[in-house]
Amino acid sequence: MIRGSKSVIAVSSLVVVGAVQTVAHAKDVTFGGNARAFAMGGAGVAVVDRSERSNAINPASLALTDRKSKLSFPQIGVAAHGIPIKQAYDHLIRNPSSNDAVSLARDFGNQDSSFGAGVAWGLKLGHNDITATGIGEVRVQPNISLINWSNTANGNVALLTGNERADIIGAAIYSLPIVGVAERVSPLGSPTQVDAGARVKLSRAMYSHYVVNSTNIAANTGAAPAPEMNGDSVLGKNGIGIDVGFLVHPAHHTGLSGAIVITDLLEPNFRFNGTDRTGAAAKYDLQPRSITLGSAYENGRVLVAADIVDITRAYGNVQGRTGIEYRVKKFAFQTGYSSARGFTAGVGYRAFQIAVGSRTPLEIAQTLRF
């Protein structure tokens, strides 16, 4: 346990400084669910957590909870990059229209932009849980001609050159249900406890791609579906995925712990043949198999976690994620850093948690690759 005012002040200062820097540049906000891990840079697969705030990261952590049944606290997350959250919400949720792809290209064609949202809610049944989740993202990909027009023409369609183009690509996955189960696999009374868990996901994936040209922008006409859509507005696939996880920790729960999580050990095969912003053929695998390793150390009021995410490079470069939490009475304060997403911060009061970040690092299981 950390003792002495100097140690407490040092840890508190580290958390506060990270939080202030993150809040000042926050673009993503997450409430509930895994917000605690998001606030710690996305790290946490090895956290020994009996408060049930990290279960969705590593299914093995279900073995740490009691045998009671309860409804989990819902998770809601939104993220916008290159598009202010309010405008993205207006375009995609509050006032959607058949010409939405064109309005996105016209209003946010000055740079690559994206908007995403995720929700999760479930029921815990002892060492099992049943969850429903959904995550979606829309990306605006303008070409250089549209970027130049957006930055210099002030919306004057008379200055369009005819070469302007934007690709509006969207993808979403919703899972209903996700069934999780976990148990201790080490002998009873062993000083080191080993937990194992798995989640089976019945999911549906959706993919959409529209191409906006200068004529669409000038006349505000509906964009055309990309060639791979074959005239449809949305392509869909059903699939089954299985995540597995292992957690090794002292039986008394404090100290050093380690974990491994394999996301989509059984892949749902959410692969779509599409095209990129140049019109060239491209293949999008929305949720490939990924492996993450993690460690954590808890001593008194302080928790430190570090993960090596996606060592199989299924989603791109290997990511490093670190985070720290300091608890005082019923409050918890977190800050963290992800090599791919930047700084994060958060605060919790009992079961309620909120996290903010410049780009919130959603765990691989809630990330779309396209």
Beta strands 192-213 and 165-184 are antiparallel
Q: Which of 337, 192, 338 is nearest to 257 (CA)?
A: 192
Q: Cα torsion for 284, 289, 293, 299, to the nearest 10°?
A: 90
- Mark 232-262 as b/e (b = at least 16 C-beta within 10 Å): eeebebebebbbbbbbbbeeeeeeebebbbb
Q: Which pLDDT belongs to residue 362?
A: 44
Query: Do 222 and 98 meet the contact criterion of CB atoms below 8 Å apart?
Result: yes
Cα separation of 121 and 131, whole Å? 6
Cα separation of 212 and 145, whole Å? 12
Strands (E), 214-351: 224-225, 235-250, 255-266, 271-275, 281-285, 290-299, 302-309, 319-328, 331-338, 342-349
Q: How many domains does the chain have?
A: 1
**DSSP state, 218?**
H
Q: What is the residue whose two structure tokens read 């997403």?
A: 341
- Could you tell me the two tokens for 366? 């809630």
Provide the residue count of the chain: 370
The radius of gyration of the chain from alpha carbons, rounded to an integer in Å, stands at 22
Q: Which pLDDT belongs to residue 27?
A: 53
CB-based burial label for 136 (10 Å; 0-12, 13-18, 19+): middle
H helix or E strand, kind and range, residue 23: helix 5-24
Bridge partner list, 291:
262
Mean pLDDT by 10 residues, the chain (370 residues): 40 41 51 76 86 69 82 74 66 54 80 84 88 89 93 91 92 92 93 96 94 91 91 93 96 91 95 90 92 93 94 90 92 90 85 73 54
Domain with 24 in it:
5-366
Cα separation of 270 and 253, whole Å? 38
Q: Which of 268, 284, 266 is nearest to 276 (CA)?
A: 284
Bridge partner list, 261:
245, 292
The amino acid that residue 25 corresponds to is H
Cα separation of 233 and 63, whole Å? 43
The HSE-up count of residue 146 (CA atoms within 13 Å, CB side) is 28
Q: Which pLDDT belongs to residue 2?
A: 37
Distance between first and last Cα of the chain: 45
